[in-house]
Amino acid sequence: MISNSSKYAIKAVLFLALHSNEDHKIMVKDIAKPINVPQAYIAKLLQELVKENIISSTRGPKGGFYLNKENVSQPVINILNNIDGEKRLTSCMLSLEKCNEDKPCPLHAILSPSRKEILKILNEKTIKELALDVEQGNSYLPL
């Protein structure tokens, strides 16, 4: 349902949400370590996220990755859709071409409400809110 790459990406974005801003950028090596992901791997993922304006970066000295106001206001699902593609979360659980709401496959029929709920949450919850949950003690790290 959610790839390793997406998990890493979410961890990294969450880390940035909690520790970076436009005046305090963080370089990849200082992200990789605390979130426990290989540096070269997370670097590649972060680059993809920058391309889609999900996170921000600048190069050179004093450069690094960070989140701006727009970045933190995006829903969590943007990360997943960018890394895994949109289909991953919405496609038929049995990979049947013809499965849809009107003629659901057997798994779809019994799991559709729960899946919809998950999609709804991921669409509504923003990066900012997720970080706030951590800051308020509703959820926990370390990553």
Partner DNA sequence: AATATTATATGATAAAAATCATATTTGAGA
Partner DNA sequence: TCTCAAATATGATTTTTATCATATAATATT
User: What residue ranges bind its own copies (CB under 8 A)?
Assistant: 1-2, 4, 7, 10-11, 14, 76, 93-96, 98-99, 103-111, 113-115, 117-118, 121-122, 125, 130-131, 133-134, 138-143
- Residues with Cβ within 8 Å of 43's Cβ and at least 6 positions away in sequence, in order, are 28, 32
Toward its own copies, which CB reaches closer, 50 or 118?
118
93 close to 107: Cβ distance less than 8 angstroms: yes
Report the distance separating Cα 44 and Cα 120, nearest Å: 28
Give phi and psi for 101, each to the nearest 5: -60, -35
67 binds, among DNA, its own copies, none (CB under 5 to 8 A by kind): none
Smallest distance, its own copies to C-beta of residue 67, A: 15
122 close to 83: Cβ distance less than 8 angstroms: no
Residues that bind DNA (CB under 7 A): 3-5, 8, 25-29, 37-38, 40-41, 43-44, 46-47, 50-51, 57-65
